[in-house]
Amino acid sequence: MRQPARQNVASLIGLFILLASCGPSPQAGGGIGGTGNSASVVSGPITGFGSVFVSGYEYDTGLTSMTVDGKPGSQSDLKKGMVVLVNATLTHNYGTSEPPQRTANTLVYEDTVEGIVQSVAPDGSSLVVLGQTVVITTTTIIDLSVPTLGNLNRNDLVEVSGFVSGPGTVVATLIDRKIGAADYQVKGFITQHDERSKSFTIGSLAVDYTGADIGQMPNPAGNAWNGLLVDVRGSQTSPGGPGPYGIRMTATKVKLEGLGTKDGEDVEVEEFVTQMLGPGDFFLGNVHVQTSAGTTFEGGTLNDILVGAHLEVHGSLVGGIVNATKVEFKGETELQANVAAINPSDNTLTLTGLPALVIQFDGKTALHGQGNPRHLNDLRSGDHLQIHGQLRDGNTVLAKEVERSDPTSNVQVQGLVTSAADPIIVLLGASIDTSSIPESGFRGRYGVIGRSAFFSGLSSGKKVVLRGTYQANTVTWSSALRGD
């Protein structure tokens, strides 16, 4: 992505402020013992219902105007895992320790990708839909309409909600099968923009925007759209496009992705870092974020903010820039393995096959699963765990969420590479020997790439997923997937 185009994103989004509202204007607070309102803009996945919980916060939806895929909707149309944009009013009770009451004024949901399935990875780690690699993690919600990913076939129509983590890549929060006519849609970064032919690509999707509504886009002259994160709707698809899963789409509308406003007192955005301008100066999609000396960090440090990092940022939006007051690192690291040993004295445990790695529990670790465990002391050696957390201090993972299940020999490690030199990958503080992985086990975004291509350019900060089995006191690694 070209830096000049990305640096101008905030000002471009500001041009369209009349197209979206951030809710009521902030009102003066009531002082000690009084009340006051402020405007809030929130972008993140639905995590629960009662009213609606977004990124863990509850929003009253009694009078909310909802839009679902461009049409008027209701709460019955919503599902956990949908990434939504909420404009809300926060009512503060000053002089008390009570959290603000959150009232959603508007809630908008749009698919991240909707189209036909072109490929399903044999190990269930990804799909290809509309030329986009849809990455499936252990936190991805698979709707009941999709009993198993193995039931998905080529040309099945699916709806995917999630985060655009890079060019042509979506990390899914929800996968849903759709019945009926397709409303083709894709969100992603524009490359190869050609204003003369009115075309561009997103991943392996070639888009023709001749005749499309581009009224919410900046001037396309000079191929100016390269690097922008956009939402594209289409009327039809056909074979073609770049790469082995290339496909073409005729666009009916192209618009910028963003928060829809350039000012707001209270902003919460969950996304992946897509560009770094400098330490603490970065983009989450099209949203420009800057940290300061007063910014607090949870699950990581300023130096851990890298392209590809999954963050939740809190702050104020001024002139199109989020001034971050808190940066929370979301599950960069995912593990599956059996418990080797538990150390209750310092709230840690180790895993079979990964002896150098320490799993740290704290008061915020969410523990659930088979047998309804609630504390570290409820776990036993041999329990199989799925762990989501953040790497700390080289070889320690601070566990955010842990799920227990029946013991199995399967081992999975997902994280950011520290260094790599065939056949060794240094990941989560451990040197992992990939010599046991066959050529067919080394995979990229579009399928098998072999050992040489896998290690080519594999450097610090790249995401990889390793899978294997634990037997006879050792892990035999069977596959390796590059996430870039």
Q: Is 397 exposed, middle or buried (0-12, 13-18, 19+ CB in 10 A)?
A: buried
Binning pLDDT at 50, 70 and 90, where does residue 256 land? very high
In the Cβ-directed half-sphere of 271, how many Cα atoms lie within 13 Å? 29
**What b/e sequence results for 228-261 when a residue is b if at least 16 CB atoms lie within 10 Å of its CB, and e otherwise?**
bbbbbbbeebeeebbeebbbbbbbbbbbbbbbbb
> What's the half-sphere exposure (Cβ side, CA atoms, 13 Å) at 269?
26
The two tokens of residue 11 are 């000002």
Split at pLDDT 50, 70, 90, the class of 3 is very low
Model confidence at 29, in pLDDT bands (50, 70, 90)?
very low
Task: Return the number of other C-beta atoms located less than 10 Å from residue 424's C-beta.
Answer: 14
Least confident of 30-44, 75-89, 204-218, 290-304: 30-44
The pLDDT of residue 86 is above 60:
yes
Return d(Cα 269, Cα 257) in angstroms, integer. Answer: 13
- The mean predicted confidence, pLDDT, of the chain is 85
If one compares 313 and 356, the residue with the highest pLDDT of the two is 313
Rounded Cα distance between 25 and 39, Å, is 6
pLDDT at 330 over 90: no
What is the four-CA torsion angle of 233, 200, 21, 56, rounded to 10 degrees? 80
pTM for this entry = 0.66
Task: Please choose, from the candidates 338, 239, 326, the residue with its C-alpha nearest in 3D space to the C-alpha of residue 291.
Answer: 326
Q: Which two tokens stand for residue 305?
A: 């903010």
Tokens of 97: 């320790």
CATH code for residues 333-408: 2.40.50.320
pLDDT in tens, 353-398: 888 889 999 888 889 999 999 899 999 999 999 998 877 656 788 8
Instruction: Check for a shared fold between 264-329 and 333-408.
Output: yes
Question: What is the CATH code for 411-482?
Answer: 2.40.50
Domain residues of the chain, as ranges?
1-18+110-259, 31-109, 264-329, 333-408, 411-482
- Fold (topology level) of 264-329: OB fold (Dihydrolipoamide Acetyltransferase, E2P) (2.40.50)
* Residue 20 CA, distance from chain mean position: 23
Q: Report the Cα–Cα distance between both ends of the chain, in Å, rounded.
A: 14
* Residues 415, 98: Cα–Cα separation, whole Å: 37
Closest CA to 116 of 84, 88, 154, 143: 154
User: What's the Cα-to-Cα distance from 421 to each of 97, 329, 428, 437, 462, rounded to whole Å?
Assistant: 53, 28, 16, 15, 13
Rounded Cα distance, 134 and 152, in Å? 14
Q: Which two tokens stand for residue 46?
A: 């639905």
Model confidence at 245, pLDDT cuts 50, 70, 90, reads confident
Going by their DSSP bridges, the two strands 35-49 and 83-93 should be labelled as antiparallel
Q: How confident is the model at residue 64 (pLDDT cuts 50, 70, 90)?
A: very high
**Mean pLDDT, residues 301-308 taken together:** 82
Confidence of residue 484 (pLDDT cuts 50, 70, 90): low
pLDDT at 97 over 90: no
pLDDT over 70 at 40, yes or no: yes
Cα separation, 66 vs 83, in Å, equals 13
Please, which pLDDT band fits residue 483 given cuts at 50, 70 and 90?
Answer: low
How far apart, in whole angstroms, are the C-alpha atoms of residue 466 and residue 478?
8
* Radius of gyration from C-alpha coordinates of the chain: 23
